[in-house]
A and B are shown apart, each in its own frame.
Chain A
Amino acid sequence: MDGLRRKVALVGVDESDELGYLPHKVALQLHAEAARNALADAGLKKDEVDGLFTAGVSTAVVAEYLGLRPRYTDTTTVGGASFLMHVEHAAAAIAAGLCQVALITHGQTGYSNRSRGVRPAVDPTLPAAQFEAPYGVAGPPSVYSLACTRHMHQYGTTHHQLAEIAVATRKWATLNPKAMMRDPITIEDVLNSRWISYPFHLLDCCLVTDAGGAVVVTSAERARDLRKKPVYLLGCGEAHHHALISQMEDLTTMTAAQVSGKQAFQMAGLGPKDIHVAEVYDSFTYTVLMSLEDLGFCAKGEGGAFVSGQRTAPGGNFPLNTSGGGLSYTHPGMFGIFTIIEAVRQLRGECGPRQVRGAQVVLCHGTGGSLSSAATLILGTG
């Protein structure tokens, strides 16, 4: 199954001008800054964009704000995996000739929304409003923790193993000037941080920031004339499994990730051992541990052992979340696009002190909703 292998390239990536606590900016501005920066990175003009992809807000709103008139759009919004799905959808559209230059944008003010009183509207007829919210289910910490407790029960996964991920990810963040949290932490710091939702300590949880990001995708042929060395899409996959955590069949296993990962590897003609760097959405330490199992980097239940001994830290043999991830770099709400930005930079060799030498194949993986949806991309230089 070649599918979309090497049909398109990622030719421009960047964040918004600033990341962090940005009470002076709204989400649309962050979309626009990131879009301008990513187009400049690609060496493309705004008027060449004919496909627009975003999540959380309609492409009509973003297109108008940016002064774009796209002929192909997609507002797939399934949480943090959305932007990885957009790459797959953009690739399919480009391969079919429906657009030539696809711009994927993200802007979110998870931090500033709190003081602005911005809350998502809840439709009272939806199952979540009737069968989960009355019990206090609201937001990822109260959801992902339910899955983690079950994994700990079933496989003996420990708080210490989860903390290994937080500590290793922070080490990468110390090497990224754009990361918000750059002071090193220890396992004990994680274990001594306050409880948010047992079994999660504060330092098991991602940041809440304001940030934007954008990615430009075009055909492999067009990519050859652009500014930067093309990064090719080698494989991709996506899947949904459920929406509510109470509808998830096995809370220790993310079926959607198994499906998306398997398809991406098959399309690329590669396996887990061929991956040089992994950028795996880390909404929580546990999200990473579970994803590594379901993507096939280790067997089910062995994620805790896999990440032990700071294996995923700089200098370890499994470079993971080299930007500092959602845990330490930035996390405005739906982190997925930042896994792609970092992957492209690693493949171009632009990462300075955190550059992984010889990175030629990088896996990006996004998780959305209540461990509901997943998307996997395998990107490469050749």
Chain B
Amino acid sequence: MAEYRKPIPIPSPETAPFWEASKKRELLIQRCQECGRFYFYPRPLCPHCLSPHVEWVRASGRGTLYTYNINYRATYPGFAADVPYVMAIVELEEGVRLMTNLVDVKPDPDQIKIGMAVEVVFEDVTPDISLPKFRPASRG
């Protein structure tokens, strides 16, 4: 397998549980136990009310496509083989959004529809890191 040359996340103390879960095919988000709101990306103080009483919650992994682009230039050298590739912002069922790549779809505006149902898949990029990506949801 060729060396992986794209940027690789380096888990930090506040994000390590997220990356450990991703390795196990679980998508984690956080919920504040005081104000009850979900949020992403991971941080130990709620961005809505700054409460430290927050919990990890496993997201369903289902969501909708909020927006996307199609990149014709490699933004990092490691993406050269992927051009053109799709970046996407997905809105999870729980209401939070995250950046991702849309995979298993033609990089064609006629094939990609904002609002389409998507589901998480995990790409193992190193023995320690699996990246959550999204593909069009399978039916049913």
Is A251 engaged at the interface, CB distance under 8 Å to the other chain?
yes
Cβ-defined partner of A149 (8 Å) among B10, B41, B69, B99: B69
A136-B101, A137-B87, A245-B99 known; A130+B76 contact, CB < 8 A? no
Q: How many residues of B contact A (CB 8 A)?
A: 36
* Known contacts A142-B87, A197-B71, A197-B73, A135 near B99 by CB under 8 Å: yes
Query: Which residue in chain A gives the minimum CB-CB distance to B115?
Result: A153
A130, A131, A139, A251 — which one has the most chain B CB atoms within 10 A of its CB?
A130
- Does A75 sit within 8 A of B, measured CB to CB? no
Residue pair B15, A195 in contact (C-beta under 8 Å): no
Question: A130 with B79: in contact, given A150-B114, A197-B73 (CB under 8 Å)?
Answer: no
Residues on B with beta carbons closer than 8 Å to the beta carbon of A147? 67
Q: Name A246's closest neighbour in chain B (CB-CB).
A: B99
In the bound assembly, the distance between CA atoms of A246 and B88 in angstroms comes to 9
Task: Kindly list chain A residues whose C-beta atoms are within 8 Å of the C-beta of B109.
Answer: 198-199
Rounded to whole Å, the gap between the CB of B72 and the closest CB of chain A is 4
Residues from chain A with a CB closer than 8 A to the CB of B101 are: 135-136
- B17 at the A interface (CB under 8 A): no
Contact B68 A127 (CB under 8 A): no
> Known: A136-B101, A251-B67. Contact between A125 and B12, CB under 8 A?
yes
CB of B67 within 8 A of CB of A130, answer no
Q: Do A129 and B10 touch (CB < 8 A)?
A: yes
Q: How many residues of A contact B (CB 8 A)?
A: 34
Please pick, from A129, A131, A146, A244, the residue contacting B87 in the complex, using a CB distance under 8 A: A146
Say how far A42's CB is from chain B's closest CB, in angstroms.
41
A104 to chain B, nearest CB (A): 31
Stretch in contact with the other chain, from B1-9, B30-38, B48-56: B1-9
Contact A251 B9 (CB under 8 A): no
B131 on the A face (CB < 8 A):
yes
**Residues B89 and A136 in contact, CB atoms below 8 Å apart:** no
Chain A contacts for B99, CB-based, 8 A: 131-132, 135, 137, 244-246
Residues in B whose Cβ lies below 8 Å from that of A130: 9-12, 15, 41
Residue from the set B75, B76, B79, B85 with the largest chain A CB neighbour count within 10 Å: B75
A-B contact pairs, 23 of them (CB 8 A): A124-B9, A127-B41, A130-B9, A130-B10, A130-B11, A132-B99, A134-B7, A135-B99, A136-B85, A137-B75, A138-B76, A142-B71, A146-B69, A149-B67, A150-B67, A153-B67, A195-B70, A195-B84, A198-B70, A198-B109, A244-B41, A251-B66, A251-B67
Q: Given known contacts A199-B69, A246-B97, what 5 new A-B pairs fall within 8 Å (CB)?
A: A127-B41, A130-B10, A135-B131, A196-B73, A246-B89
